[in-house]
């Protein structure tokens, strides 16, 4: 295959949530290159693939709802299409939402783009019965129904992908719009793009919808008459009243699954039965027997040993939590709930100078703040991106850290959990509100794609969990080892005791915590979940009272972002802004911890 000549590129184009990236994966089966589109921070994924006997560079373009760009991603996709003189185009659409798919097809036709239409998710139980041949004849392009999940009909897609044609789709606009197009002196597509930002926008959108409905009117499989199961429940998830009980139920299920089962049952089994019962004792015996040098033994199995501390924290304490969280997140993602959550919280976020679209990077932050900071690019204005970056760094714990926090709170009861959650939510809202008054700029419009509600597929969830777990092992475990080595060096050189004494006025006097808690905050900059794991170990050994546990968890939640997130903040927001955000977050976290400690003493609060 590698000896085949590379001829043309193959662009995959489509709206978000139609399975475009999965089709990319199925076509390429190989290492993908991720690079920024020239002059932007928008990432483009590409890889080589054999398509109908030819070697093609397949490009997975950013998801777009329109060719009249409303975001950086949509602008990049449009530019790739307009410059695609050496490329074939495949439009990927959801067969269950043909109306939405053909709206984009119409715009491709208006830009005179030849393409092949790929209707994905054809294996869904409620997928409408589409007459594929009649549809292809009506719109004038090859149409292929596929299932990327089951790899069905992909070979047929490859054959048609290299033989795209120009569609026969021409919408008729009102006389006023047609006159404005003629008067613009531009091509029809360019004129319509410009007019989409004027008072003609609603009229143009209505004409396109009417045309698409006319195309679909002769097809009995039109999804307009085939509501999906769960559609009513999907509307309730977005309801301003009923959406909240559903959200509380989701949070309660998350607490049971991640906090109780993952961070409780699984962690106890892996840590006590496997690591404390087998791995650590056997490792200590073997290394004591074969390693004569004392400092090497301590480096491997001592109090700050790579095996007894780094691997125990990373694998025994954090990994079970990561797996259960990623499983839960995969279920919510695959079901279509997350965009509905964005709609429901839109009004709340408006008060912080944001819109509901900000929910998406913040929810992703519960998986990894580093990745979530990158996804702030989906927000339309610089003001929104800065505010969300601050909130991610301040009040959104990553999955591993959140799981450890839930495990510690699960031992204390609901009062402790409510205090921690209340302080965190008030902080997010207050800092977001104040930032909206200080950070200059405007808030973008709220436009989000709402996919159909689906029963999550086990295979989808397994693929996502395995991929994300692999990412965690590759990124987190080396940093746990580096952090442990740092603690070992600091302890061996007595600098750790010096740092503890230096931080004692802050950690002991202001926060009311044991001096050893300084270790968790020192190492938390490498990995916030590592810092939380250190607090977890202290709680398990009786080193933290319930009051101290809540204070420590509040501080570590609001604490400075990990080094990986800090580096991404520098890349996305610039060095000055990243340093300013990190400095503010650090001071604020310890200040809130001090206030909480003082409030506990003043009001005689006794938790646990």
User: CA end-to-end span of the chain, whole Å?
Assistant: 65
Which pLDDT value is given to residue 512? 93
Which pLDDT value is given to residue 258? 73
Full DSSP string of 70-116: SSHHHHHHHHHHHT-TTEEEEEEEEGGGHHHHHHHHHHHHHTT--EE
Bin 185: left if φ > 0, else alpha if -120 < ψ < 50, else beta: left
Say if CB 381 and CB 388 are below 8 A apart.
no
Residue 239: Cβ-neighbour burial (10 angstroms; 0-12, 13-18, 19+): middle
Give tens-digit pLDDT for 444-464: 666 666 777 778 878 778 877
Residue of 30, 20, 37 whose CA lies nearest to 55: 30
- Containing 328, the helix (H) or strand (E) segment is helix 319-335
Residue of 81, 171, 157 whose CA lies nearest to 122: 157
CATH (residue range 1-229): 3.40.50.300
What sign results for the dihedral spanned by CA atoms 270, 272, 277, 279?
Answer: positive
d(CA 156, CA 284) in angstroms, rounded, equals: 58
d(CA 290, CA 209) in angstroms, rounded, equals: 76
Flag the least confident range among 28-32, 225-229, 323-327, 560-564. 225-229
6 to each of 54, 80, 136, 499, how far by Cα in Å?
Answer: 7, 19, 29, 59
Percent of the chain with pLDDT over 70: 88
d(CA 313, CA 533) in angstroms, rounded, equals: 6
Which pLDDT value is given to residue 226? 46
What are phi and psi for residue 70, nearest 5 degrees? -115, -5
Residue of 563, 555, 550 whose CA lies nearest to 521: 555
Say if CB 412 and CB 546 are below 8 A apart.
yes
566 to each of 378, 383, 427, 591, how far by Cα in Å?
Answer: 19, 19, 20, 21
d(CA 111, CA 485) in angstroms, rounded, equals: 58
496 to each of 356, 493, 544, 589, how far by Cα in Å?
Answer: 45, 8, 20, 22
Give tens-digit pLDDT for 169-227: 888 888 888 888 888 888 887 888 777 767 777 788 888 888 888 888 765 444 444 44
Flag the least confident range among 314-323, 386-395, 446-455, 521-530. 446-455
Which pLDDT value is given to residue 513? 92
Does 1 score more than 50 pLDDT? no
Give mean pLDDT, residues 280-296: 85
444 contacts: CB under 8 Å, gap ≥ 6 = 355, 357, 379, 380, 381, 384
Residue 296: CB atoms within 10 A of its CB come to 12
Spans of all domains in the chain: 1-229, 243-448+460-603
Taking the whole predicted model, whether its pTM rises above 0.85 is answered as no
304 to each of 252, 485, 486, 513, how far by Cα in Å?
Answer: 36, 7, 9, 21
Which pLDDT value is given to residue 222? 44
Q: What is the dihedral of CA 211, 217, 221, 227, to 10 degrees?
A: 80
Residue of 555, 556, 551, 560 whose CA lies nearest to 598: 551
Which pLDDT value is given to residue 97? 80
d(CA 160, CA 179) in angstroms, rounded, equals: 38
Give tens-digit pLDDT for 86-125: 788 999 988 878 888 898 999 888 888 889 999 988 776 6
Buried b (16+ CB within 10 A) or exposed e, 522-535: bbbbbbbbbbbbbb
DSSP 142: -
Length of the chain, in residues: 608
Say if CB 399 and CB 325 are below 8 A apart.
yes
Say if CB 129 and CB 145 are below 8 A apart.
no
Give tens-digit pLDDT for 473-511: 777 678 778 777 887 888 888 887 787 778 778 898 999
Residue of 392, 385, 401 whose CA lies nearest to 436: 385
161 to each of 17, 150, 158, 529, how far by Cα in Å?
Answer: 21, 19, 5, 46
Give mean pLDDT, residues 63-83: 79
Residue 209: Cβ-neighbour burial (10 angstroms; 0-12, 13-18, 19+): middle
Which pLDDT value is given to residue 225? 42
d(CA 440, CA 387) in angstroms, rounded, equals: 10
Say if CB 436 and CB 399 are below 8 A apart.
no
Across the beta sheet with 33-36, the strand order is: 33-36, 43-51, 54-60, 6-14, 87-94, 115-120, 143-145
Q: How far is CA 371 from the centre of its chain?
A: 6
> Average pLDDT of the chain?
81
Which pLDDT value is given to residue 223? 44
544 contacts: CB under 8 Å, gap ≥ 6 = 513, 514, 517, 535, 538, 552
Does 414 score more than 90 pLDDT? no
- Containing 43, the helix (H) or strand (E) segment is strand 43-51
For residue 53, how many C-alpha atoms fall within 13 Å in the half-sphere facing its CB? Answer: 3
- Report which of residues 220 and 42 the model is more confident about: 42
Which pLDDT value is given to residue 378? 66
Which pLDDT value is given to residue 2? 45
Give tens-digit pLDDT for 394-406: 888 876 687 778 8
Does 433 score more than 60 pLDDT? yes
Say if CB 384 and CB 446 are below 8 A apart.
no
Give tens-digit pLDDT for 125-171: 666 777 888 888 888 899 999 888 788 888 898 888 888 888 888 88
Does 547 score more than 60 pLDDT? yes
- Containing 145, the helix (H) or strand (E) segment is strand 143-145
């Amino acid at each position: 295959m590698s000896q085949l000549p590379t001829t043309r590129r193959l662009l995959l184009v489509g709206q978000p949530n139609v399975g475009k990236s999965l089709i990319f994966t199925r076509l390429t089966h190989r290492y993908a290159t991720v690079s920024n589109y020239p002059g932007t921070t928008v990432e483009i994924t590409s890889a080589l693939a054999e398509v109908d006997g030819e070697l093609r560079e397949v490009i997975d373009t950013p998801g777009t709802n329109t060719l009249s760009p409303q975001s950086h991603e949509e602008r990049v996709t449009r530019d790739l299409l307009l410059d695609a003189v050496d490329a074939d185009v495949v439009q990927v659409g959801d067969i269950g939402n043909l109306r939405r798919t053909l709206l984009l097809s119409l715009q491709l036709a208006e830009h005179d783009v030849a393409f092949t239409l790929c209707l994905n998710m054809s294996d869904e139980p409620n997928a409408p019965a589409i007459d594929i041949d009649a549809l292809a004849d009506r719109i004038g392009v090859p149409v292929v129904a596929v299932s990327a999940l089951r790899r069905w009909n992909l070979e047929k897609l490859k054959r048609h992908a290299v033989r795209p044609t120009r569609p026969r789709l021409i919408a008729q606009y009102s006389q006023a719009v047609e006159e404005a197009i003629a008067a613009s002196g531009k091509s029809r597509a360019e004129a319509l793009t410009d007019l989409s930002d004027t008072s003609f926008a609603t009229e143009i959108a209505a004409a396109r919808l009417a045309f698409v409905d006319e195309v679909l009117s002769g097809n009995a499989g039109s999804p307009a008459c085939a509501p999906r199961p769960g559609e009513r429940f999907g509307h309730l998830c977005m309801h301003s009243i009923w959406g909240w009980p559903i959200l509380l139920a989701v949070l309660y299920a998350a607490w049971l699954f991640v906090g109780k089962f993952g961070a409780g049952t699984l962690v106890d089994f892996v840590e006590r039965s496997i690591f404390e019962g087998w791995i650590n004792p056997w490792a200590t015996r073997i290394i004591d027997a074969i390693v004569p040098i004392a400092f090497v033994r301590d480096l491997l199995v001592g109090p700050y040993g790579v095996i007894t501390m780094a691997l125990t924290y990373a694998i025994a304490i954090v990994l079970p939590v990561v797996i259960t969280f990623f499983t839960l997140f995969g279920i919510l993602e695959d079901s279509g709930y997350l965009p509905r959550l964005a709609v429901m919280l839109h009004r709340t976020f408006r008060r912080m100078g944001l819109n509901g679209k900000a929910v998406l990077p913040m929810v992703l932050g519960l998986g990894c703040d580093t990745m979530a900071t990158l996804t702030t690019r989906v927000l339309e204005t610089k003001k929104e991106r800065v505010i969300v970056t601050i909130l991610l760094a301040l009040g959104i714990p990553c999955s591993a850290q959140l799981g450890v926090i839930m495990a510690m709170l699960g031992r204390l009861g609901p009062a402790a959990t409510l205090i921690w959650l209340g302080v965190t939510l008030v902080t997010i809202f207050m800092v977001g509100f104040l930032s909206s008054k200080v950070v200059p700029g405007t808030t973008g419009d709220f436009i989000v794609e709402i996919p159909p509600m689906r029963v999550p597929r086990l295979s989808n969830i397994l693929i996502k969990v395995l991929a994300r777990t692999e990412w965690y092992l590759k990124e987190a475990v080396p940093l746990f080892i580096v952090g442990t080595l740092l603690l070992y060096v600091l302890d061996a050189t007595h600098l750790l005791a010096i740092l503890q004494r230096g931080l004692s006025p802050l950690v002991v006097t202001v926060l009311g915590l044991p001096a050893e808690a300084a270790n968790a905050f020192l190492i938390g900059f490498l990995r916030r979940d590592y810092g939380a794991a250190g607090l977890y170990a202290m709680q398990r050994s009786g080193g933290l009272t319930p009051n101290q546990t809540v204070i420590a968890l509040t501080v570590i939640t609001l604490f400075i972002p990990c080094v990986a997130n800090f580096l991404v903040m520098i890349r996305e927001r610039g060095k000055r802004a990243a340093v300013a955000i990190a400095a503010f977050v650090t001071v604020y976290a310890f200040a809130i911890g001090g206030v909480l400690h003082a409030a506990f003493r003043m009001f005689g609060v006794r938790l646990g």
